[in-house]
């Protein structure tokens, strides 16, 4: 196949892509049929990557403050400030905060510079917020951070248990692989307090009380013991069982107690136990519903205990499977980018420190773990850390209690940021900004959930003065005085060194070992095919612990607290299908923006009634840390007492929807991972004087009013608006041109269209008591010849309203699907696909179509 083989920019599924440039900054994106992670499939985000590779919003030159600077000046400044700070206050007075969105080569150089040359453990990563409980759980059970599963296990499993994972949205290609196996008879159980699209068509959904996962898993394990399902031979050969493990386990683990703790029906729980008993080939996939908890590590070990005790590990089709979030979350763990590990899966044991120091030929070495993310920002706030370098992450949005993180950043004497975008929520705090190359320009490797290393390759030259992250870091290392140790000329140089370190003094005690790649030549590196390290780990029943045995770790359910009167609700936070984190890339795509145009607070209808909220209205979510506005969406899939908000919206996108301000910065005691999924919260309605929207073909500052959320639309930007007074200010900021206006005093409505050369550049519709038209038709008029007829908001004559778009690939709306379902009596997702093509390309919308069919069927019967 012509084109460049590379890997998707987004999630840890790690799909292979074939990208063919079709212009200076345009490319055709297709799934790579030869890549074992996806066999040619891509989800909606991967499919629409091509819409996000323009240069809009990019940082293209180094900046010192608000001034453009040369690379020499910017790099010298960073090197000098770090060197001076270390000289005056010691190595622990500086820190790097990095990201699972760096390539392995970037990550390796950053870790080496901090731990081996600056000599501090203070490099932590956003993986702390993401995978660190899984890492800690793996190390406790297996002795090393090893994910004991592969995607081939998905093709062989008979039962899938998805715990705290919305895979239909967050790991869609893995989810489709699971569904394909279910079509062949496998069973699917989903454990999530919310009814997500992942639950559509599942055999069982257990909407457990948040935070009760340990009770559930321990209950199942106790049941397995009573039912004779514990694999005594496997335990005898391969697992160390602590004294009294079973005695402590069995307290309060009878079916009824567990059902009560988890707040699920005993009959559903029994069904789960039966499914588990009947299907030894079980894969349990878990993600942030497990990791992002104040007991995340214990929750991970509860799952690992279950698999170890029943011998469902190390065999094809049977494994616990921690699926990774970011494209290179796993690569970061391999290089040792977490403050809690040294390098190459080694901890800070004195012999490891000595070995790594010798290997690097470094003047010093970190001898103890550095500060974990939450503590790191606290240390900045307290003035203990005085120079910080942030790379490829946006802590002003994504850290818990992000308002406090902003205050800390504002106080930090020196902040350098390596970024691809010019303006992020961190920009105001940066003393120096270093322009990095982004996806499509970068070159190196990433490791996916199943330990498969794949190449990311460039399809475009670096734009402007952007440079690769590894180059930026090694230039600073060089300027700090270590020219020879940071003399890399290409990613292959770094990869070879990384592979060599993995084998250094490694007599098989560390499974992470890239021995096959220590001598890889530059040409081979260029041509490298995806490969998995560690193979079928644990197939021989041996584990990387001193005695070769895995460990059962006694864990118990923490008591669950009743809500407080002042904070009667629990806030759960997470992701939307078509947005990626702080939207710096996905926010550029008009298609991806259609799935959810605004940040919603999803509320159970009875809670909404109790708090006086209306569907489609606005509400303020507050917590002890902060408050933000959201659009209300009634959701029967939400448990009572709990609300859900998305993590994606930032100051760039919106005045509201600022989820990052809300969670508290409490963390799991073992991993230091924040408990993002449950924050005590309160909710109140907010009724603005007016509502409206603005569609503009020209860039303009986000309107300053109570509610202004921005999304990309074809040919421009759409802002949804609401406010109390102040509308004149927005009006005055509209692009210049010929104005056509209409006013309806009875309804308090005002409509403006701005034309230039007879063509539409902007419309602003606003009303106090009236209706607002659908936005689609007006968006389609941007750039077209316009007249006063625009102010009707709809075309003359009958306008086909497709309804909200369900299938992005073929532009199929809800109303089209309902019409076809009604007239052609369609009952399956396949039939809808045959009739309308919906769901037949990337397939990300198939769970949504399944839900529409179910709801339609229920409506017909109800
Ligand atoms: N579309 C999209 N995909 C992504 C990303 C993205 O931004 N957008 N980000 C990527 C990254 S970095 C990550 S880490 C992954 C995250 O992938 P996921 O972990 O699947 O996503 P989340 O939405 O964070 O949360 C998963 C689910 O945990 C549930 N949950 C909350 N509390 C509990 C609990 O106490 N117990 C249980 N069992 N479940 C609970 C939530 O209701 C939620 O549905 O997604 C990756 N993929
Ligand atoms: N409330 C709540 N908060 C959460 C979570 C949650 O579920 N709930 N989830 C947490 C999780 S799991 C994660 S992973 C984090 C994610 O949170 P962040 O890491 O803050 O998310 P991103 O928006 O992806 O930030 C990446 C930044 O790096 C830039 N960038 C992209 N590619 C490159 C590159 O190659 N080089 C450089 N130098 N820069 C680049 C992008 O422009 C962007 O600004 O959020 C965490 N925060
Ligand atoms: S599942 Fe989607 S976002 Fe994740 S790697 Fe594959 S195409 Fe990219
Ligand atoms: Mo993540």
Structure confidence by residue, pLDDT tens digits, 384-395: 999 999 999 999
Q: What pLDDT, on a 0 to 100 scale, did the predictor assign at position 520?
A: 97
The tokens for 113 are 């510079």
Structural contact between residues 321 and 146, judged by C-beta atoms closer than 8 angstroms: no
For the record, the structure tokens of 115 come out as 């731990």
The torsion angle over the Cα atoms of residues 415, 421, 427 and 433, rounded to 10 degrees, is 30
Task: List pLDDT tens digits, range 523-577.
Answer: 999 999 999 999 999 999 999 999 999 999 999 999 998 999 999 999 999 999 9
pLDDT in tens, 504-517: 999 998 999 999 99
Centroid of ligand 2 to alpha carbon of 804 (angstroms): 28
Please tell me the distance between residue 85's alpha carbon and the centre of ligand 4 in angstroms. Answer: 31
Our answer on whether the CB atom of 659 is closer than 6 Å to any ligand 2 atom is yes
Find out whether the beta carbon of 838 lies less than 6 Å from any atom of ligand 2.
no
Nearest-atom number in ligand 3 for the CA of 42 is 7
Residue having the nearest C-alpha atom to atom 33 of ligand 1: 289
- Given the CA of residue 11, which atom of ligand 3 is nearest to it? 4
Q: Is the pLDDT of residue 732 over 90?
A: no
- For residue 112, what are its two tokens? 């080496």
Task: Determine the atom of ligand 3 nearest the C-alpha atom of 46.
Answer: 7
Interior CA angle at 293 toward 607 and 609, to 5°?
Answer: 5
State in Å: Cα 481 to ligand 3 middle: 41
Instruction: Give the pLDDT of residue 566.
Output: 96
- Rounded to the nearest angstrom, the distance between the alpha carbon of 658 and the centre of ligand 2 is 15
pLDDT band of residue 799 (cuts 50, 70, 90) is low
Query: How far lies 574's CA from each of 44, 427, 862, in Å?
Result: 18, 24, 32
Going from the Cα of 45 to the center of ligand 3, the distance in angstroms, rounded, reads 6
Question: Phi/psi at 189 (nearest 5 deg)?
Answer: -120, 130
**Tokens found for residue 230:** 């514990």
User: Which residue's CA lies nearest to atom 13 of ligand 1?
Assistant: 325
Report the separation in Å between the CA atom of 770 and the middle of ligand 4, taken as the mean of its atom positions: 42
Q: How far is the CA of 87 from the centre of ligand 2 (A)?
A: 32
Phi, psi torsion values for 802, nearest 5 degrees: -80, -10
Ligand 1 center from residue 579 Cα (angstroms): 13
The ligand that comes nearest to the alpha carbon of residue 285 is: 1
Q: Is 774 helix (H, G, I), strand (E, B) or coil?
A: coil
Q: For residues 802-814, give the mean pLDDT.
A: 91
pLDDT for res 798: 66
- Residue 676 Cα to ligand 2 middle (Å): 15
Q: How much is the pLDDT for 824? A: 94
| 862 pLDDT tier (thresholds 50, 70, 90) | low
Residue 35 CA to residue 217 CA, distance in Å, equals 35
How far, in Å, is the centroid of ligand 2 from the Cα of 31?
24
Which residue's entry shows tokens 């068509």?
Answer: 201
pLDDT tens-digit map of 164-191: 999 999 999 999 999 999 999 999 999 9
653 alpha carbon, closest ligand: 2
Backbone angles phi, psi at 713, to 5 degrees: -130, 165
Give the nearest ligand 3 atom to 14 CA: 5
Which of 7, 12, 397, 420 is the best mutation target for the ligand 2 pocket, counting ligand atoms within 8 Å of the beta carbon and taking the most?
420
pLDDT for 677 beyond 90: yes
pLDDT score, position 1: 56
765 vs 772: CA distance, rounded Å: 7
74 pLDDT more than 90:
yes
- Ligand number nearest CA of 572 is 1
Q: Give the ligand with the smallest distance to the CA of 439.
A: 2
SS in 3 state form for 628-683?
EEEEEEECCCCCCCEEEEECCCCCCCECCCCHHHCCCCCECCCCCCECCCCEEEEE
Residue nearest to atom 24 of ligand 2 (CA): 581
Which is the closest atom of ligand 1 to the Cα of 644?
Answer: 42
Contact 688, 676 (CB under 8 A): no
Confidence of residue 77 (pLDDT cuts 50, 70, 90): very high
Domains, the chain, in order of start with CATH, read 4-52 (2.20.25.90), 63-129+328-532 (3.40.50.740), 132-322 (3.40.228.10), 569-686 (2.40.40.20), 690-792 (no CATH), 805-861 (1.10.10.1100)
Q: Is residue 388 within a helix (H) or strand (E), and if so which, with residue range?
A: strand 387-391
What pLDDT, on the 0 to 100 scale, is given for residue 172?
Answer: 98
Pocket lining for ligand 3, CB < 6 angstroms? 8, 10-11, 13-15, 38, 42-43, 45-46, 171-173
Instruction: Give 238-307 as a DSSP string.
Output: HEE--TTHHHHHTTT-SHHHHHHHHT--HHHHHHHHHHHHH-SSEEEEE-HHHHSSTTHHHHHHHHHHHH
**DSSP labels, 494-514:** HHHHHHHHHHTT-SSS-S---
pLDDT band for position 268 (50/70/90)? very high
**How many Cα atoms within 13 Å fall on the side-chain side of residue 838?**
28
Pocket test for ligand 2, best of 57, 97, 129 (most atoms within 8 A of CB): 129
- Pocket-testing residue among 8, 425, 444, 581, ligand 2, by greatest number of atoms within 8 A of Cβ: 581
Alpha helices in 450-490 (DSSP H): 469-479
Are 276 and 220 in contact by the 8 Å Cβ rule? The answer is yes
pLDDT of residue 672: 98
Residue the block writes with tokens 């190459």: 344
Please give the model's pTM, rounded to 2 decimal places. Answer: 0.97
| Tens digit of each residue's pLDDT (9 = 90 or more) over 455-501 | 999 999 999 999 999 999 999 999 999 999 999 999 999 999 999 99
User: What is the mean pLDDT of the segment spanning 369-389?
Assistant: 98
Let me know: does 754 contact 737? Beta carbons within 8 Å: yes
Establish whether residue 647 lines the binding site of ligand 2, counting it when its CB lies within 6 angstroms of any ligand atom: yes
User: Could you tell me the pLDDT band of residue 47, with boundaries at 50, 70 and 90?
Assistant: very high
Q: What is the DSSP letter of 733?
A: H
Q: How many helices and strands (H and E) does the chain possess?
A: 28, 34
The set of residues, in sequence order, having a beta carbon less than 8 Å from that of 754 and lying 6+ positions away, is 734, 735, 736, 737, 738, 739, 760, 761, 762, 763
| Residue with CA at minimum distance from ligand 3 atom 6 | 15
For ligand 1, the distance from its centroid to the CA atom of residue 575, given in whole angstroms, is: 6
Q: Does the beta carbon of 534 lie inside 6 Å of ligand 2?
A: no
Say what the pLDDT of residue 794 is.
86
How far is ligand 3, taken at its centre, from the CA of residue 17, in Å? Answer: 10
């Amino acid at each position: 196949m012509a084109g460049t083989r590379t890997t998707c920019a987004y999630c840890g599924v790690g799909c292979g892509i074939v990208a063919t440039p079709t212009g200076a900054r345009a490319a055709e994106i297709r799934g790579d049929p030869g890549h074992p992670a996806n066999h040619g499939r891509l989800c909606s985000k991967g499919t629409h990557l091509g819409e996000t590779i323009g240069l809009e919003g990019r940082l293209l030159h180094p900046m010192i403050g608000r001034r453009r600077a040369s690379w020499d000046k910017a790099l010298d400044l960073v090197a000098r400030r770090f060197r001076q700070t270390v000289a005056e206050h010691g190595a622990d007075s500086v820190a790097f905060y990095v990201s699972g969105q760096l390539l392995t080569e970037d990550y390796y150089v950053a870790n080496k510079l901090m731990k081996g040359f600056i000599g501090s453990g203070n490099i932590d990563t956003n993986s702390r917020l993401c995978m660190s409980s899984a890492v800690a759980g793996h190390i406790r059970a297996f002795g090393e951070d090893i994910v004991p599963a592969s995607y081939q296990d998905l093709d062989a499993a008979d039962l899938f248990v998805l715990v705290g994972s919305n895979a239909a949205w967050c790991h869609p290609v893995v989810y489709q692989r699971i569904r394909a196996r279910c079509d062949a008879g496998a069973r699917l159980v989903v454990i999530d307090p919310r009814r997500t699209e992942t639950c559509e068509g599942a055999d069982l959904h257990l909407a457990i009380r948040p935070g009760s996962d340990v009770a559930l898993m321990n209950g199942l394990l106790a049941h397995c013991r009573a039912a004779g399902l514990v694999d005594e031979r496997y335990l005898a050969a391969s697992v160390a069982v602590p004294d009294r493990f079973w005695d402590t386990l069995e307290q309060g683990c009878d079916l009824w107690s567990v059902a009560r703790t988890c707040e699920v029906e005993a009959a559903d729980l029994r069904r789960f136990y039966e499914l588990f008993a009947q299907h030894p080939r079980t894969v349990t996939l878990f993600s942030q519903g497990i990791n992002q908890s104040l007991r995340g590590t214990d929750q991970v070990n509860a799952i690992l205990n279950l698999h170890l005790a029943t011998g469902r590990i190390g065999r094809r089709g049977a494994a616990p499977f921690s699926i990774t979030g970011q494209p290179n979350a796993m690569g970061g763990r391999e290089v040792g980018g977490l403050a809690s590990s040294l390098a190459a899966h080694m901890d800070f044991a004195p012999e490891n420190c000595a070995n790594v120091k010798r290997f690097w030929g470094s003047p010093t070495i970190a001898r103890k773990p550095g500060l974990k993310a939450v503590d790191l920002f606290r240390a900045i706030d307290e003035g203990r850390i005085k120079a910080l370098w942030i790379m490829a992450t946006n802590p002003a949005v994504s850290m818990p209690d992000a308002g406090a993180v902003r205050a800390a950043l504002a106080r930090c004497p020196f902040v350098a940021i390596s970024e691809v975008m010019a303006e992020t929520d961190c920009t105001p705090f940066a003393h120096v900004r270093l322009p990095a190359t982004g996806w499509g320009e970068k070159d190196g490797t990433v490791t996916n959930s199943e330990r498969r290393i794949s190449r990311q390759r460039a399809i475009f030259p670096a734009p402007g003065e952007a440079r690769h992250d590894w180059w930026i870091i090694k230039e600073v290392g060089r300027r700090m005085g270590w020219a020879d140790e940071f003399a890399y000329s290409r990613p292959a140089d770094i990869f070879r060194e990384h592979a060599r370190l993995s084998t250094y003094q490694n007599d098989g005690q560390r499974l992470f070992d890239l021995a096959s790649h220590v001598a890889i030549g530059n040409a081979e590196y260029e041509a490298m095919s995806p490969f998995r390290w560690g193979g079928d780990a644990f197939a021989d029943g041996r584990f990387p612990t001193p005695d070769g045995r895995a460990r059962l770790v006694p864990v118990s359910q923490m008591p669950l607290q009743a809500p407080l009167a002042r904070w009667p609700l629990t806030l759960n936070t997470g992701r939307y299908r078509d947005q990626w984190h702080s939207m710096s890339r996905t926010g550029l795509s008009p298609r991806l923006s259609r799935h959810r145009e605004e940040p919603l607070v999803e509320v159970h209808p009875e809670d909404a009634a109790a708090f006086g909220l209306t569907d489609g209205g606005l509400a303020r979510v507050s917590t002890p840390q902060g408050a933000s506005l959201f659009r209300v969406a009634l959701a029967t899939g939400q448990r009572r007492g709990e609300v859900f908000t998305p993590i994606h919206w930032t100051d760039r996108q919106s005045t509201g929807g600022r989820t990052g301000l809300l969670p508290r910065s409490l963390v799991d005691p073992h991993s230091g991972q924040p408990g993002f999924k449950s924050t005590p919260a309160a909710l109140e309605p907010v009724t603005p004087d007016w509502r409206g929207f603005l569609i503009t073909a020209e860039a303009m500052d986000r309107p300053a009013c109570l509610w202004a959320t921005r999304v990309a639309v074809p040919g421009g930007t759409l802002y949804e608006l609401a406010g109390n007074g102040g509308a004149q200010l927005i009006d005055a900021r509209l692009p210049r041109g010929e104005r056509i206006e209409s006013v309806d005093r009875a309804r308090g409505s005002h409509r403006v269209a701005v034309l230039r050369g007879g063509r539409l550049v902007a419309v602003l519709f606003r009303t106090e008591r009236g209706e607002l038209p659908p936005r689609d038709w007006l968006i389609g008029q941007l750039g077209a010849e316009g007249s006063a007829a625009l102010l009707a908001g709809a075309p003359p004559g009958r306008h086909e309203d497709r309804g909200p778009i369900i299938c992005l690939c073929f532009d199929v709306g809800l109303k089209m699907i309902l019409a076809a379902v009604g007239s052609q009596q369609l009952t399956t997702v396949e039939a809808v696909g045959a009739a309308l093509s919906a769901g037949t390309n990337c397939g990300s919308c198939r769970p949504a179509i399944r839900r529409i069919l179910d709801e339609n069927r229920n409506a017909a019967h109800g």
